[in-house]
Chain A
Amino acid sequence: MDLNQFIALVQAYTALGVGIIIGLGAIGACIGIGIMGSKFLESAARQPELVPMLQGRMFLLAGLIDAAFLIGVAIAMFFAFANPLLSKIVAH
């Protein structure tokens, strides 16, 4: 295979990998936020006087749930724009 085919191969698999990272991460994060949000609404309806405290905890949890997903997005974007696998091939 010549260089162009190598480059095309690496780019194709990188694009596939980026899509899988972001897609699977989004599924996990969205389901997590959905479950947490529904519990929050239930408990807010049960005990409205606790809402301010629960809201603070809810934002904290939202940040924690989104963490792994956003780390995945950062890594995927890194591969999308500054692909080290590609620069390794081009360097040779």
Chain B
Amino acid sequence: MSTEASGGLTEYITHHLTHNVVQAGDGGFWSVNIDSIIVSAVTGLLFVLWFALKARKATAGVPSKGQAFVELVIEFVDGQVKDVFHGDRRFIAPLALTIFMWVFLMNAMDLLPIDLIGRAAALVGGEEFAHHFYFRAVPTADVNTTFAMSIVVFFLIIFYSIKAKGGGGFTKELFTAPFHADGTGAKIALAIPNFFLNLVEYLSKPVSLAMRLFGNMYAGELVFMLISGLMITAIGFVPGVLINAGWAIFHILIIGLQAFIFMVLTVVYISMAHEHH
């Protein structure tokens, strides 16, 4: 009996952890997680259309509640960018706003009930179809999404570095910072350690950004799945609902916090790339 239950629980969880994969070519590189792409596109469009609509209808007089909320978010993000970045904010502040709101909306998909999409699939196509239908609703719990965003941020960091220091200055700094030397012999000796330190510093930024967001969202989603799975097999409906509610309330904090951290770190890294040594 217990092996039945644990087999069922493991199968429930592995079913919910499987992505909906579409093969766009041969091999692992071309297997596309279509569920992440669809949900991230939908949330991105939602954010853009929502804010654009409010911006178009904005009045200078007494604002409506919707406009007041959008203004609140924009002022919050602008305040954070102004604190950190001392340069021309006209590109960085909208970038920070996009990152913050988009990551927040994608993370918020975690608050949807896990079996919502499964039950909808069962309604549409029947139980057998629902058994083999996979859909993961949280794009940021997919390594591909988070790494995609952090690789773009990485390219932006390099772009702003080159813009601030020039192409030659950028490569020179790769070999001469942080250990400075005066004699030519010492310079050549220190070039390799400098380069390795710089490589680690540059590569750790996108990796840590992506893995931090992914780890938080994946762990959160997994705890939701565990609670629902245990609710079905072991602890019953009412305790399950209560524990789910408790974890969801804690997760609301994590959702907002991770979006905020991604945004602030992006702005901090770009502003660090802007300064000279």
Measured between beta carbons, the chain B residues less than 8 angstroms from A82 are 14, 17
B208 touches A77 (CB 8 A): no
A62 touches B257 (CB 8 A): yes
Measured between beta carbons, the chain B residues less than 8 angstroms from A66 are 216
B10 touches A71 (CB 8 A): no
Decide if B112 is an interface residue (CB 8 Å cutoff): no
- Chain A binder among B161-169, B189-197, B234-242, B258-266: B258-266
B13 touches A74 (CB 8 A): no
* Nearest-CB residue, chain B, relative to A81: B13
A77 touches B212 (CB 8 A): no
Measured between beta carbons, the chain A residues less than 8 angstroms from B212 are 63-64, 67, 70-71
- Among A70, A75, A78, the residue within 8 A (CB) of B216 is A70
Measured between beta carbons, the chain B residues less than 8 angstroms from A70 are 212, 215-216, 219
- Expressed in whole angstroms, the Cα–Cα distance for A42 and B261 within the complex equals 24
Decide if B214 is an interface residue (CB 8 Å cutoff): yes
Measured between beta carbons, the chain B residues less than 8 angstroms from A64 are 212, 261
Closest chain-A Cβ to B85's Cβ sits at a distance in Å of: 15
**Mask: chain A, 57-76; 1 = CB below 8 Å from B; 0 = not:** 00110111011001111110
Measured between beta carbons, the chain A residues less than 8 angstroms from B219 are 70, 73-74, 77
Q: Which of A71, A75, A78 counts the most chain B CB atoms within 10 A?
A: A71
Q: Which residues of A contact B (CB under 8 A)?
A: 59-60, 62-64, 66-67, 70-75, 77-78, 81-82
Q: List 23 A-B contacts (CB under 8 A).
A: A59-B260, A60-B261, A60-B264, A63-B212, A63-B258, A63-B260, A64-B212, A67-B211, A67-B215, A70-B216, A71-B211, A72-B215, A74-B214, A74-B216, A74-B218, A75-B215, A77-B219, A81-B13, A81-B14, A81-B17, A81-B222, A82-B14, A82-B17
Q: Which residues of B contact A (CB under 8 A)?
A: 10, 13-14, 17, 208, 211-212, 214-216, 218-219, 222, 257-258, 260-261, 264
